[in-house]
Amino acid sequence: MTDDGRAARRRRWFRAARRPLRRVVILFILALIIEYLVIPELVGASKDVYLLGRLNVGWLIAGLVLEAVSLFCYALLTRALLPPEGRPNISRLFRIDLAAAAVAHVIPAGTVGSAGVGFQLFTSEGLDGTDVGVMMATKGMGSTVVLNVLLWLALVISIPLSGFRPVYATVAIVGAVLLAAMAALVVGLTRGGKRAGRILRAIGDKIPGVGGERLEKIVLQADESLRRLASDRHVLVGSLTWAALNWLLDAASLWCFVAAFGSFANPVGLFAAYGIANVLGAIPVTPAGLGVIDSVTPVLLVSFGLTRSVATLGVLSWRLVNFWLPIPSGAAAYVSLKVPRGAGIKAMRRALAELTARGAHSPGPAGQPAQDPAGQPAQQRAEEPAGQPAADAAAEDDPTGTRS
């Protein structure tokens, strides 16, 4: 075999092994996190079962309600960022966001899969793909900015009260890097949209099934949409308000779960611990910060004056509602969106299988071809022989490539 043949064989082997190797690495990292972060917390919590006898059910119910309202505020943020024309009602927007959260909570780096499912659900409601893409990007970036601003305010207030901690510097650096990256992205789109479009056109031409012209068109349309959003004060104020309420109510839910075990945390210190944990949990290693938030938050709460027992049980009970409950709730929301009433259990099972497939394979709103539940690209179906449905025939010409 020649050197070129051996090199080509190695390249084919690497392409075939890349995905399994990536999954092995992710599973290994997950195992380390569970072994060294999650299990010690659970073992420590098992020693504090006696606190369950002092459990205040009223505070638990309050925490559950606040978490639900927090999720509803996220749907209101979605509504504020979408154009009024043809916008679905708040019930459907809430269920779409909930279905996206379910995917994000079960897949490592789940924001990619959740964005794909959400994009498909939003566009299936008749929304323009570019409007949906801009809304999702703006919502993600804006929500991150709001969290960092609220966190910095909490840190500035807490330093005179509780003193400076080394983790503050780390979080400030991470937050500054995130904000700088998002600022560069926004400036690149708003001031250099044509240049960005040309760059993405050249990149897209080399990606099978995407196409540079489609990517360039979406970037130019996104530039116009971002400019309109920045000039609309009503939309801007409403978006910032709902994003802030989403974070604040989630943190208030944590406060209630801690209070249910008999301790009333300092709200500023609690939000500082909550914000730091969520910033660190945003690193795309585990689904929605699983293991990171669960372990970091109790440690920080203890540094702000709570006992280890109360902090651990309060955080674990809050995560049952904050992390685990949206998974079955989101699956039920997806079924309610896709399955007509009275369709039967088989239709529900098909919808759940479709959600799983889309979560694993869907692209984000970059114009890449969507996939059906069987994993077959929509563009490939559009190229099949005559007799195909009209909708499939049009799929190839759809510039949107019609979260979680």
The predicted pLDDT at position 113 comes to: 60
Distance of CA 213 to the CA centre of its chain: 28
Mean pLDDT of 317-338: 92
42-51, 122-131, 371-380: least confidently modelled range: 371-380
The predicted pLDDT at position 80 comes to: 92
- If one counts every other C-beta atom within 10 angstroms of the C-beta of residue 21, the result is 11
Residue 272 pLDDT exceeds 50: yes
Which of 270, 278, 267, 259 has the alpha carbon at shortest distance from 317?
A: 259
The predicted pLDDT at position 134 comes to: 80
User: How far does the chain reach from its first CA to its final CA, in angstroms?
Assistant: 47
Given a contact cutoff of 8 angstroms between Cβ atoms, the answer to whether 276 and 300 are in contact is yes
What value does the mean pLDDT of the chain take?
74
pLDDT in tens, 148-187: 889 888 888 877 776 666 666 666 676 667 667 666 655 6
Distance of CA 377 to the CA centre of its chain: 24
Which of 397, 338, 384 has the alpha carbon at shortest distance from 121?
A: 338
Residue 254 Cα distances to 258, 282, 297, 298, angstroms:
6, 18, 10, 11
pLDDT bracket for residue 244 (50, 70, 90): very high
Q: CA triplet 356, 77, 276: central angle to 5 degrees?
A: 80
Residue 359 pLDDT exceeds 60: no
Which of 387, 366, 388 has the alpha carbon at shortest distance from 376?
A: 388
Which of 347, 371, 367 has the alpha carbon at shortest distance from 359?
A: 371
Residue 98 pLDDT exceeds 90: yes
Percent share of the chain, pLDDT over 70 = 58
The predicted pLDDT at position 67 comes to: 97
DSSP 125: T
pLDDT in tens, 14-42: 666 666 666 666 666 666 666 555 656 55
Residue 356 Cα distances to 21, 26, 332, 366, angstroms:
21, 19, 13, 20
Residue 357 pLDDT exceeds 80: no
Is the overall model pTM greater than 0.85, yes or no?
Answer: no
